[in-house]
Structure 1
Amino acid sequence: MLSETEARATAPDEWPPSAAWEGWRPFVIDSRHDESAIITSFILRPQDGSAVPPHRPGQHLTLQVAVPGQPSVTRNYTISAIPNGETLRISVKREPSGRVSNWLHDHAKLGTVLHVMAPSGAFVLPDDATRPLVLLSGGVGVTPMVSMLEAISRSSAAAPVLFVHCTHDGQTHAFGAHVRALAAGRADITISTFYSHPQVQDAVGDGFDHTGRLDMAWLLAHSPVAEADYFICGPLPFMRTFMGGLAKAGVPTGRIHTEFFGDVEDLTDEDLAPSDQANVAGQGPQRTAASYGGAGATIGRPDVANGLLDSASDAVVASDRNGRIVFWNPGAERIFGFSTEEAVGQSLDIIIPEPFRARHWDGYHQTVASGESRYGAGDLLAVPGLCKDGRKISIEFTIVLLKGTSGRVEGMASSIRDVSRRFDEMKALRKQIAEMQQFQG
């Protein structure tokens, strides 16, 4: 679905792109312009003037921003335009309490330097997009959809595309004219825009199509539910409504693709994961394990290591600095369902639910670049995991950094345990306690 130049972006199992840079790279703000009353686009150009490797439409950037008088902070922002080899565009919504978004809107100017990680993320169009596509966005969730639509508009693919965007009114509507221009003359692209609270100057048919909120009834009536791939990005209530509604309508999880701009614990069903702690942990001071060397002892360090690595009880997974899986033991195959042949060489995305991937890669890239993590030895982290058959499970795990002789992080290894049964038992117990308290009250 991309032109010859744009198709140079790498395949999913190569994310992050091998042709991209490692660590933080300085970019300068080349230009900026308002997309709406609350969203501003920033065009970023490499400070050294060199070329920008291609990304896949829908991917995001991790930025490090030095706000004066405060420690540097990192944020993820979607790349809102297709690759051009020279610049990257991000489009930022001003959030009332957003430290970085407000600083960018109020203080970032031409020449301001931002440090940027290479594009990453799996919220991208399928390589073989033969099924109909539904691009469904709310608010600033339109940003990945714009880059996807730009790519689609330059292709000759005949699969129908429904682009649905929801916003408050004409003042908050970003990219409206641009989106309609992309669809102009394309019978295979349909645009539908909803204003929940149109102003006096907003007229149906002039920039938007429907008054009120989009609901599942409209979506089911106007999209090919039985065959379409749905891409969804927007605020929390929006995501919950349409993720859940499509699932209840029988759309397989493999055809529901999501990106969430917010805290993942708000998006995740509370019945799914015990917590939302980060996906990357560090390691504490290294120590040599003690061993028993008495008479007749035949068990050495390699025996212990091989026994643990070959066990089918817990998963042991190792990945390189780009997040590609390099080791996958029998326990990982049992828990996640992928064979060694299927898993090795793939991105860690195959075991991470989509709403968690942006946060995962943010932490992963930061740790690889800095060689440090905010987590120490013994930290037990808990997040949802994704199985081959699409099931989501609750997992607990620890991670250690794998460093070379120079001290550079070369990868990470993790020990993972499926705790879904225990979590279900705890959930049932909490429910019983709540019912007892309600009865006693």
Structure 2
Amino acid sequence: MPEGATSISSKTTTASGWRAFTVAERHPETSHITSFVLKPADAGGLPHYRAGQHLTLRFKGPDGAPLIRDYTVSCAPNGAHLRISVKREPHGSASNWLHDHLQPGQDIDVRAPSGDFVLPEEATRPLVMVSAGVGVTPMIAMLEAAAEAQDGRSIRFIHGVRDGAARPFAAHVAALAARQGHTRLDVFFSRPASGDLDAPGHHEGRIDIDFLQRETPIGEAHYLLCGPMPFLRDLATGLAAAGVPRGRIHYEFFGPMEEIFEDDAAPAAEPAKPAPGSGAYVGTDAQMAVEEHVARALLDSAADAVVASDAEGLITVWNAGAERIFGFAPQEALGQSLDIMIPEPFRARHWEGYHHTVSTGESRYGAGDLLAVPGLCKDGRRISIEFTIVLMKDAAGVVTGMASTIRDVSKRFEETRTLKKRVAELEKATGAA
């Protein structure tokens, strides 16, 4: 391994799924975004993935402690390499370290790409790709895949940036659009520099729902959205209000986990399905010991769901409360990924924190902290849940899994939201008077 390498695993895939990749190239896309081209250190084949998915990276940070982050694969499957394109964040320890230290020849640990934010396979409907800033990265991969497929689908590629200097992949996107043959480009500049507005399809301002309603096929298209939360909330809720079925609104975001839609808990595009797992679940002595530990640690679990998982995030304990809340019988849930109960837009952030906790033995949350996030049921409903986390450790202090008590608080959430809306209406009426 070259001097300064940051890989923690060996060059072969470990039992935990980590595999060393070598940085083959790095390219500046803008002053704040750098692309890293990755190839397997063992010279083996690339993992299978779909355009739009993300991969998980693990590397040693400035203090030597492992950092785990998720980054979109910014290229379509090509059989030669993976590519990530990372924005330097002012206070981002991981992004700053990658920009400042990761060089060609160094190794970094990678998990196979995953995620459901992918290019829709249905080629008969138009696609509208809408992104802001570095949210363009999955769109680049999808546009590459569409150009390669040559299936004749109509694409509207809409991107928002500060100015031309901050726009990544500009020439590459133009070339892909020409190659695909049915792609129309629009770029919005919030603070355009001289010359930014000279080209056709270049606009001053920000992308808004009025533009999408006026310029895109609302009644037909799949909408693919990627960017920060305020951007997504405005566009996703606007599209839903305009009559676009939520099954045709696909999104990926950066920032805290919270719901996009403000109205009723949004249904998933499809009912949740158990992910391909490790086959029939068989409890070992160690796993049975974990179950006993969970039983002792969570004494008041009868009315709530009790769910435990191993270091890989596979479910090892699933009680009657979990079946009642989420709908999966124990034989359906045990041995499956926690993804079956996590809405897709929140999975990347969940796994980033999960793998970091397993690797470091430390959680960002204190014992007993009550967390609130959306949950996903077997029938596709989204619910509001609150939960606490208990880390399960072996005698050496190594995290072997996690356990949670989970409560469905959807009714209380709705009552609170209704009350807030009523208070806002009264305040508005009082102000008007």
Q: Go from structure 1 to structure 2 and tell me whether the alpha carbon gap of 1:267 and 1:144 turns closer, same or farther (over 3 Å shift).
A: same
Q: Go from structure 1 to structure 2 and tell me whether the alpha carbon gap of 1:110 and 1:200 turns closer, same or farther (over 3 Å shift).
A: same
Matched residues in 2 for 1:346 and 1:159: separation? 36
Matched residues in 2 for 1:434 and 1:126: separation? 40
TM-score w.r.t. structure 2 length? 0.74
- SS of the equivalent of 1:184 reads helix
Aligned to 1:210: 203
Matched residues in 1 for 2:385 and 2:89: separation? 33
Matched residues in 2 for 1:209 and 1:20: separation? 48
Aligned to 2:251: 258
1:274-293 alignment, distance < 5 Å: 287=293
Say whether the 8 Å CA contact 1:254–1:390 is kept in structure 2. Answer: no
| AA aligned opposite 2:176 | L
Aligned to 2:238: 245
- SS of the equivalent of 1:214 reads coil
**Identity within the alignment, %:** 55
Q: How many aligned residue pairs are there? A: 394
Q: Go from structure 1 to structure 2 and tell me whether the alpha carbon gap of 1:340 and 1:157 turns closer, same or farther (over 3 Å shift).
A: farther
- Tell me which moved more, 342-351 or 224-233: 342-351
- Tell me which moved more, 142-151 or 66-75: 66-75
Matched residues in 1 for 2:150 and 2:427: separation? 62
| AA aligned opposite 2:374 | P
Q: Go from structure 1 to structure 2 and tell me whether the alpha carbon gap of 1:73 and 1:375 turns closer, same or farther (over 3 Å shift).
A: same
Instruction: Give the CA deviation at 1:358.
Output: 0.9
Matched residues in 1 for 2:293 and 2:96: separation? 45
1:130-279 alignment, distance < 5 Å: 130-205=124-199, 209-265=202-258
Aligned to 2:277: none
| AA aligned opposite 1:393 | I
Matched residues in 2 for 1:43 and 1:61: separation? 13
Residue 416 of structure 1 pairs with residue 409 of structure 2? no
Matched residues in 2 for 1:78 and 1:328: separation? 32
Aligned to 1:351: 341
Matched residues in 2 for 1:332 and 1:127: separation? 33
Residue 61 of structure 1 pairs with residue 50 of structure 2? no
Residue 43 of structure 1 pairs with residue 43 of structure 2? no
Say whether the 8 Å CA contact 2:129–2:225 is kept in structure 1. Answer: yes
1:161-213 deviation digits (Å, cap 9, x = unpaired): 2221111221111111111211214343322222222211324326x532322
- Tell me which moved more, 243-252 or 133-142: 243-252
Aligned to 1:300: none
Matched residues in 2 for 1:194 and 1:326: separation? 48
Matched residues in 1 for 2:227 and 2:255: separation? 9
1:362-418 deviation digits (Å, cap 9, x = unpaired): 234445667876667755543111345654321123566789999998876655321
| AA aligned opposite 2:153 | A
Say whether the 8 Å CA contact 1:258–1:354 is kept in structure 2. Answer: no
Q: Go from structure 1 to structure 2 and tell me whether the alpha carbon gap of 1:44 and 1:161 turns closer, same or farther (over 3 Å shift).
A: same
Instruction: Give the CA deviation at 1:355.
Output: 3.1
Q: Go from structure 1 to structure 2 and tell me whether the alpha carbon gap of 1:330 and 1:171 turns closer, same or farther (over 3 Å shift).
A: same
Say whether the 8 Å CA contact 2:339–2:347 is kept in structure 1. Answer: yes
Matched residues in 2 for 1:261 and 1:252: separation? 23
1:321-359 deviation digits (Å, cap 9, x = unpaired): 665668877655653456789878875445323331111
- Tell me which moved more, 227-236 or 376-385: 376-385
Matched residues in 1 for 2:78 and 2:97: separation? 27
Q: Go from structure 1 to structure 2 and tell me whether the alpha carbon gap of 1:100 and 1:269 turns closer, same or farther (over 3 Å shift).
A: farther
Q: Go from structure 1 to structure 2 and tell me whether the alpha carbon gap of 1:382 and 1:230 turns closer, same or farther (over 3 Å shift).
A: same
Q: Go from structure 1 to structure 2 and tell me whether the alpha carbon gap of 1:58 and 1:374 turns closer, same or farther (over 3 Å shift).
A: same
Matched residues in 1 for 2:14 and 2:73: separation? 15
Instruction: Give the CA deviation at 1:80.
Output: 0.4
Aligned to 1:383: 373
Matched residues in 1 for 2:128 and 2:329: separation? 32
Instruction: Give the CA deviation at 1:253.
Output: 2.2
| AA aligned opposite 1:83 | P
Tell me: higher relative CO, structure 1 or 2? Use CA pairs within 8 A at least 6 residues apart: 1
| AA aligned opposite 2:407 | R
- SS of the equivalent of 1:157 reads coil
Aligned to 1:31: 25
Instruction: Give the CA deviation at 1:139.
Output: 0.6
- SS of the equivalent of 2:157 reads strand
Q: Go from structure 1 to structure 2 and tell me whether the alpha carbon gap of 1:149 and 1:350 turns closer, same or farther (over 3 Å shift).
A: farther
User: RMSD value over aligned CA atoms?
Assistant: 4.3
Matched residues in 1 for 2:71 and 2:295: separation? 43
